[in-house]
């Protein structure tokens, strides 16, 4: 089955700096890679996703890159703000099937 590894587990950045979170996956048939943000006590919320036929996708300060050959995808947050502080999860799946999640990255943005 699919296995998703996520690094780092914790990340602290100064406000305004960039943050990068990396994930690897094992199943070459996976074709959907979402990123979720979870604030304390809240549900995971989708912030951006990418499919295997696309190498990069950007939405304002957030971007995701995918390297299918290396089975590697990354989340990039630029100009970080205190409200970006949360736990971020990457995930992988084959289309509309159950997601396999990474273990999460706790991002702290220091004002």
Partner 1 sequence: DAGVIQSPRHEVTEMGQEVTLRCKPISGHNSLFWYRQTMMRGLELLIYFNNNVPIDDSGMPEDRFSAKMPNASFSTLKIQPSEPRDSAVYFCASSHSGTHSYEQYFGPGTRLTVT
Among 5, 11, 99, 108, binds partner 1 (CB under 8 A): 99
Instruction: Give dist(CA 68, CA 54) in Å, integer.
Output: 9
**How near is the Cβ of 53 to partner 1 at its closest, in Å?**
12
Site for partner 1 in 46-65 (CB under 8 A): 46, 49, 51
> Could you tell me how far CA 95 lies from the centroid of its own chain?
17
Instruction: Give dist(CA 72, CA 26) in Å, integer.
Output: 9
Q: Which residues bind partner 1 (CB under 8 A)?
A: 32, 34, 42-46, 49, 51, 89, 93, 95-104
């Amino acid at each position: 089955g699919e296995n998703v590894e996520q690094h780092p587990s914790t990340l602290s950045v100064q406000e305004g700096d960039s943050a990068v979170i990396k994930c690897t996956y094992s199943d070459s048939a996976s074709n959907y890679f979402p990123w979720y943000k979870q604030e304390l006590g809240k549900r995971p919320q989708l912030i951006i996703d990418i499919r295997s036929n696309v190498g990069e996708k950007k939405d304002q300060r957030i971007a995701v890159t995918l390297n299918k050959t290396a089975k590697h995808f990354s989340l990039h947050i630029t100009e970080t703000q205190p409200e970006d502080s949360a736990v971020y999860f990457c995930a992988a799946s084959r289309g509309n099937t159950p997601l396999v999640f990474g273990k999460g990255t706790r991002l702290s943005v220091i004002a």
